[in-house]
Amino acid sequence: MELFALEHKRLWRTPRVWICVLLCFIYSVVWGSVMWYQWLGFGTQNDSTDIYDHNFDGYTAIRDWQEQFSQFGDHWTDETLQKIVAAYQSYDIYEKPGIQSMGDWILAYECLHDLYQELADPENQQYQPLILYADTTKLTDFYQRRADLLEFTLEATRQNEGMSEADKQMLLDMNSQIQEPWPYEWTRGWAELSFDWSDLAPYLAIALAFLFSGEWHNSTAPMLHTIKYGWKKLARVKVLSGMAFALELYALIAVGDVAAQLIFLGTSGWDLPIQYVDILAVAPWNMLQAELYKLAFGLIGVFGYAGLVMLMSALVKSNVLALVFSLAFVYVPDVLGRYLPKWLLAVSQYLPLVGSPNDIYGYNIFHIFGKSVWSPWMMITVPGLIGIVCIPLAIRGWSRRERV
């Protein structure tokens, strides 16, 4: 324990490390959360074409949106959709361009585009979105239309992408657990939440890639043999220290992000179904469950990625190569995505911090030992297993180099 405390303190006192932590906090929490809520994302705007033309009033604007859309009822029904569309049609969007920014008009627009295409009038309105002129009295049978479109989409996926009939039925069974009518209140705030955990990769790589290779760079590796603890125990402690640092950085960012979310959005909307984000999602989850999944995705991803980085650090003596190889795991699949075979690209999404928690809106299913497994469960399992495998390999890899 004493050795762990010393090594961990040494890691945190490294200027490179605390500078990374400070920059990560500023970018992810101050800029990515607080400034997003208060300014860039939710602040009122005058020119809808310019993302920076927002006022610094997000907190107030969010409460105005919540109050404004509370008038349309507490459940999503045909009448709710009709009222929202009618309200939008009553606005002069040219006099108030900012009215389109964060209201549930976007939700209504997507519903009309996906479910009510027969109401479009291409002869006279071909350059106008359907929400501007749709006959609100014909906006009926929302849930049946959604069910029909979902059935059609899954059947098309089965035929074009090789989904089995059993997989299709599995997804339909998941969908059948969604309770109707959906609870409703202002949804746009929740639809805008999508933290990209891959943003932590550069900071973790810079902090941990030198953990083992740095001993060679600083010519301190031979000295480690002379101290009382021995190289094997030191290797274990260094790995535990690096993993603890990764989880501490995750906690700092996650707590900051959640705190900002609670301050600006509150708990209002936790019970909303995720179908407001993607109308054809089949998971019977609400927004709170989706947020917990995204936090778990980040935690497992950070754990797995820390293991990968330390393995790279243990296998090479060059600080630069350790850093490059570590970053390559995250960014090469994205850069070369369209050039990779489809199967290889799919596999790469299960590397730590490479995939996306937004897979909860998708239909991907894997077959493992005859069992059908929904892709999001793989997303929070495989990266963790990679990290577990990398830990002993990192210890063994560095130990072998120490013996040379």
Question: Is residue 48's pLDDT more than 80?
Answer: no
Could you report the per-residue pLDDT of 223-249, keeping only the tens digit for each?
A: 455 455 567 788 889 999 999 999 999
Determine what percent of the chain falls in helix, strand and coil, rounding each to the nearest 5.
70, 5, 30
The predicted pLDDT at position 226 comes to 47
The model's confidence at residue 271, banded by pLDDT at 50, 70 and 90, is very high
pLDDT at residue 404 in the model: 47
Q: How confident is the model at residue 275 (pLDDT cuts 50, 70, 90)?
A: very high
* Rounded-to-integer distance, Cα 37 and Cα 258, Å: 12
Residue-wise pLDDT tens digits, 352-384: 999 999 999 999 998 888 889 999 999 999 999
Q: Which of 49-58, 82-91, 215-224, 263-272 has the lowest mean pLDDT?
A: 215-224
- Rounded Cα–Cα distance for residues 92 and 151 (Å): 37
Q: pTM of the predicted model, to two decimals?
A: 0.92
pLDDT at 21: 97
Neighbours of 208 (CB within 10 A): 32
pLDDT tens digits, residue range 187-220? Answer: 988 887 767 899 999 999 999 999 887 665 555 5
DSSP element (H, E) containing 368: strand 365-368
Which residue type does 228 have?
K
Of the pLDDT bands very low, low, confident and very high (cuts 50, 70, 90), residue 124 is low
